[in-house]
Structure 1
Amino acid sequence: MSDTQPQKSGILASAWDLFASIRLTVGILLALAATAVIGTLIPQTQPAAFYAAKYGESGARLIAMLQIDDMYRSHWFQALILMLAVNILVCSVVRLKTVWKIVFSKTPSFSEKSFKQPAGEPFTVKTPPEDLRKRYHAFLEKRFSTVVHQPADNGFLLFAEKGRATRLGVYVVHLSVLVLLAGALVGSFLGFDGYVQIPEGQSASTIHLRESGAAMPLGFEIRCDDFAVSFYESGRPKEYRSTLSILEDGQVKTTKDIVVNRPMKYRGVRLFQSSYGTASAKDVSLAFTSKATGMTYRQTMGIGESITLPEGLGTFTLMRFTNSFLFMGKHDVGPSFLGMIEAGEDAHTVVLPLRHAAFDKMRQGDVVVTVENFESVMYTGLQVAKDPGVPLVYAGFILMILGIYITFFTAHRKFAVRVAAEKGKTTVTVFGTANKNRHGAKRKAAEIGDKLANLNA
């Protein structure tokens, strides 16, 4: 047991030294920078077929194996973030010890040796040092948090300081980075980003994750009560608006209209208006023209309905509507209705593209079917996202702004007032120094000297 204990201690010490190294910080930051470059060059969260087409089968397999297709959620990226957090934490702890003693010391120590040059010229007064001590001490106490009296040859020294806590500014910045990294990790592990398409009047309780396409239940229902879209004169969409209701156990919990950039939020899940389209159709008006007689028969029907055609032309079923149909597997003819004509033992699929009214003539059947009118049933496309790390990210940014302000715009300032009797007169010398902006501290010390001189006027 005595042999293993030093070994464990040595391993822990080596790990501590590693994470306390600035070189490790630089290495991790360079790795993250390289990651950002790769993530910019290689499109993220695309289907596997996209990478195979763009980079070849072997390249696609390599991308999938290294998780480059969803890099910011990959295990190795999360490990880099975690290593950076530990590195910053250890570096801060190592360097905080000395600062901690300075900031939280109950008995601060002052030394005249730390004040090198006086701020301005010393001045002389006729008042004895002992008569000045209380007067100067009271003056400094009104302006500084700490004032210490120290006897000296032929007089005394008064030390004053303010801003001791400002030495922690850089550690507030470090803490803000840790909070930001924690927010990123929480969002990466516990958050999700998906999408769902909901036709008007219908609801959905499951979404598809963007990175994998897998279905994920939400724990509540989203119902699209209404959808409306307005257009510019050019035909471009001006605004599309969805009226959404959230239901749990069949009860409506909340209802809200959403548009682009004005999402709905429920239980930490944000619903963004993302897209829209035609989901289906109703009250479809069809014309059936007999090739033998030239007669045209009109009928209004719904999806899934069947009718018997006149002249013994068979039975027609309106099967479904699709926003995109590949005719013969390769020609996209756009939004189309699909139907089926059954006459005896023969059955023929009927494709009715909305952009090509006479398309069914190419089938050369006994009856030509055309679409005359219909009422669209629209769907709303929603981006559904949850990022529980967002509050931490906001808190991190606030801490960072506070830390940067403390670090660059405040300082720990120290001042010394030396009062000594010389040849029947009293000489007063004021010193000032700071851990940052020492010239500013000297200017402040000169102002203090002028005010002390005026106390004796």
Structure 2
Amino acid sequence: MTPPNPSRERPSTSRILLEFLGSMNLAVTLLVIVAIAAIIGTVLNQDKPYSDYLLEFGPYWFKVFRDLGLYDVYSATWFVLIMTFLVISTSVCVYRNGPRMLREMRQYRVNVQAKSLRLMRHHEERETAVEIAGVEARAKRLLQNHGYRVREEDHGDHRVLAAMRGRYNRFGYLLTHIGIVVILIGGMLDSNMFLKMAVALGKLKVETHDVPVSQVPASSRIGTWNPSYRGNVSIPEGQSANVLFLQLKDGYVVQQLPFTVTVKKFTVKHYITGQPKDFQSEVVVHDPRTGKTVHDTIRVNHPLDFDGDKIFQASFGDGGSKLQFKIWSLAGVSKPLDFKGTVFGKYALDTQDGKRQLEIDNFRMYNIEQKPGENGISKPVDLGPSVTFKLRNSQGEANEYVNYLVPRRVDGISYFLSGVRSEPNKPYRYLHIPAGPNGGVHRFMQFAEAMHSKTMLDKVSGSMAENTLAAMGKNGDAATLSKIKSSIRQILQLFAQGGYTAVVQSVRERVPADRQKEAADAFLKVLNAGLEGVYRDVLAQDGVNSPTQQDWNFFQAAVPSLSVLPLYGAPVYLQLTNFKQIQAAGLQITRYPGAKVVWIGALMLLSGIFLMFFVSHRRIWLRTEPRGDGGTRVLFAGTSNRNMMEFDRHFGQLKDALFSKLRP
């Protein structure tokens, strides 16, 4: 029976695993995936709110990209796993090859055989009359002059002189691979993997509701144990903060800071186009543990470094400006209600159309638009301060509005602008409210109130009906008078409830198709006469009995606005009357302890690459055997691990220098 051959035994599982983890194929595959992930992370903006991605990609692709973790590639679970495998693979390479390379750096291989030397590409064999001692002395001086370290060994029948130069080339391989491991570990330290692990283990809960920081539960808060973070916080002038908001998945978590940041003053400068040119914050940073306090000014690209935390000036916004309004009813009450609120505040409003929730979102001091000028050259125009808010009904549906403080002149008439939209990604549609003789909106609101007043409509429609009967010669026909009055009042009510569109739709529903154009012209004539009658009564209430051309210009501007009031989507109009602006500095605070680790790894990597590419590991051997006549048989050989063309020249120089002084 043939005994088993140990060399053919099946390798152990651990050996197979080490070979797989340390294989070049695995390392190259992982590096390719990391490169692809880096491209994705560069092309696709990272760490934005999920709502922004939803608007950009739509529901389907938003979900696909979210499930793949593409919104935070460098902290995605699959990316962290790949980085982990890359660290393990590179470490296994160092573990398997490091000892051998360290031995090669120390071993001069003085036991080399003559057969091995003759098989080398660079070798030369000669005989000389010079004795062994002279040959070795000559070779030793020559090699040492060229920077080689030399070792000698006497084997009895022959002697070997071994020389080596550039042994740290092998150390470059180790430095390169260890540097990669250190860089990867540093990068993982600065990732969100600690937070994701805490979320996966149920130790941390992502908060998805927009609530004040004081109401964020403890399960969504992180202590100062977190080794790395990058978050944002908005601090109004004169206020302080000691927390950050870290974006995570579709929500956020609150990071507790070991220090407090106070914004003493915030300053912003603008270009003529209205774009911000520079903004800076005067801050005071205080650490209660050590008592350290720093006063500094933070500007864009000029962060403050406080004990390893970098504080950047990232943005600016409103810090809770105090606003004053007049709330005008658009359905029957011309007397406004004075109201005060602050940005980010939420308030309950009682309107004639039910309860509404007012959510004030933002205040802007400047609104710059490009207005066409002479010769087709646009020039910037400031529309003045504006406020953005939402009005939400009892079903939770809301429209977003933007109202301006000062009127804008359009075609010679001043209008107060109020933009409205039902979805954030849609453009605003603007209601133009013409300014009255006193520069306000009071006359327009009187006109709107009159259009919803039953008494006013009855008065105007009755007067028009009597004039119509008088023209027809039927002054005493009560039935006809009532019918005409009812028709006129109905037309005016249709306009008040739905504008011109409702009037035209009524014609289409009640009149045969072949007579609709004629009927529509008649309806519009009656409507315009009724609107004029209502407007004259409004002027009479203000003591204007003889309207001027300016009054009629206002009438021409007000009627189209009254027609679209039903499309405004709100029962009230909020007129911004005064404000006290409070600005807030948007700060980004980061802590990256892995940055120093990455720098160390990068230095190791660069040093290793330099040693690998610019230092050649060269070995030279001189094998000498005594001849019977007192001479010496010399075998001179050498090898190099790179740059063979240059080594050809170098070995040739050594060979010529050695044998030129040895007599054949």
What is the aligned counterpart of 1:163 among 163, 166, 170?
Answer: 166
Aligned residues: 406
Partner of 1:293: none
What is the aligned counterpart of 1:76 among 51, 71, 78?
Answer: 78
Q: How does 1:40-55 map to 2 (within 5 A)?
A: 43-55=45-57
How far the C-alpha of 1:102 sits from its partner, in A, is 1.8
What is the aligned counterpart of 1:325 among 381, 388, 403?
Answer: 388
2:434 touches 2:441 (CA, 8 Å); kept in 1? no
1:260 touches 1:273 (CA, 8 Å); kept in 2? yes
How far the C-alpha of 1:223 sits from its partner, in A, is 0.8
What is the aligned counterpart of 2:615 among 410, 416, 419?
Answer: 410
Q: Give the AA of the match of 1:76.
A: W
Q: Give the AA of the match of 2:639.
A: T
What is the aligned counterpart of 1:262 among 278, 302, 306?
Answer: 302
How far the C-alpha of 1:224 sits from its partner, in A, is 0.9
Partner of 1:386: 591
Which secondary structure does the structure 2 equivalent of 1:45 belong to? coil
Partner of 2:498: none
Larger deviation, residues 113-122 vs 237-246 = 113-122
Change in 2 beyond 3 A, CA 1:118/1:395:
closer
Partner of 2:252: 213
Q: Deviations along 1:319-370, whole A, 9 cap, x unmatched?
A: 2243251365434416879xxxxxxxxxxxxx999x9996972783899966
What is the aligned counterpart of 2:317 among 267, 274, 277?
Answer: 277
Distance 1:117 1:31 in 2: 40
Partner of 1:32: 34
Distance 1:46 1:166 in 2: 45
Q: Give the AA of the match of 2:612.
A: T
Q: Give the AA of the match of 1:441.
A: F
Partner of 1:146: 150
Which secondary structure does the structure 1 equivalent of 2:607 belong to? helix
Which secondary structure does the structure 2 equivalent of 1:249 belong to? coil
Which secondary structure does the structure 2 equivalent of 1:364 belong to? helix
Distance 1:426 1:408 in 2: 38
Partner of 1:295: none
Change in 2 beyond 3 A, CA 1:134/1:38:
closer
How far the C-alpha of 1:163 sits from its partner, in A, is 2.2
Q: Give the AA of the match of 2:171.
A: L
Change in 2 beyond 3 A, CA 1:249/1:415:
closer
Q: Deviations along 1:47-92, whole A, 9 cap, x unmatched?
A: 3334444555455445444433323212222111111111122233
Change in 2 beyond 3 A, CA 1:12/1:168:
same
TM-score, normalised with respect to structure 2:
0.52
Change in 2 beyond 3 A, CA 1:128/1:80:
closer
Distance 2:405 2:17 in 1: 65
Q: Deviations along 1:88-113, whole A, 9 cap, x unmatched?
A: 22233223343233223487544443
Change in 2 beyond 3 A, CA 1:129/1:146:
closer
How far the C-alpha of 1:39 sits from its partner, in A, is 4.3
How far the C-alpha of 1:196 sits from its partner, in A, is 0.9
How far the C-alpha of 1:205 sits from its partner, in A, is 1.0
Residue 230 of structure 1 pairs with residue 307 of structure 2: no
Change in 2 beyond 3 A, CA 1:118/1:424:
farther
Q: Give the AA of the match of 1:219.
A: P
1:45 touches 1:210 (CA, 8 Å); kept in 2? yes
1:430 touches 1:445 (CA, 8 Å); kept in 2? no
Residue 195 of structure 1 pairs with residue 232 of structure 2: yes
Change in 2 beyond 3 A, CA 1:416/1:336:
farther
Question: What residue ranges of structure 1 are gaps of 5+ in the alignment?
Answer: 1-8, 289-312, 338-350
Change in 2 beyond 3 A, CA 1:256/1:453:
farther
TM-score, normalised with respect to structure 1:
0.73
Distance 1:97 1:104 in 2: 11
1:192 touches 1:386 (CA, 8 Å); kept in 2? yes
Distance 2:616 2:267 in 1: 58
2:150 touches 2:161 (CA, 8 Å); kept in 1? no
2:179 touches 2:601 (CA, 8 Å); kept in 1? yes
Distance 2:604 2:60 in 1: 46
What is the aligned counterpart of 1:399 among 604, 610, 617?
Answer: 604
Distance 1:36 1:100 in 2: 34
- Bigger share in helix: 2
Distance 1:319 1:235 in 2: 26
How far the C-alpha of 1:393 sits from its partner, in A, is 1.3
Distance 2:403 2:90 in 1: 55
Distance 1:55 1:45 in 2: 15
Change in 2 beyond 3 A, CA 1:54/1:235:
closer
Distance 1:110 1:428 in 2: 14
How far the C-alpha of 1:397 sits from its partner, in A, is 1.3
1:361 touches 1:368 (CA, 8 Å); kept in 2? no
Q: Report the aligned-residue RMSD.
A: 4.2
Change in 2 beyond 3 A, CA 1:454/1:84:
same
2:325 touches 2:340 (CA, 8 Å); kept in 1? no
Partner of 2:452: none
Residue 240 of structure 1 pairs with residue 446 of structure 2: no
Percent identity of equivalent pairs: 23
Larger deviation, residues 169-178 vs 105-114 = 105-114
Change in 2 beyond 3 A, CA 1:243/1:418:
same
How far the C-alpha of 1:410 sits from its partner, in A, is 0.9
Change in 2 beyond 3 A, CA 1:449/1:21:
closer
Q: Give the AA of the match of 2:620.
A: F
Partner of 1:438: 644
Q: Give the AA of the match of 2:247.
A: R
Distance 1:370 1:20 in 2: 69
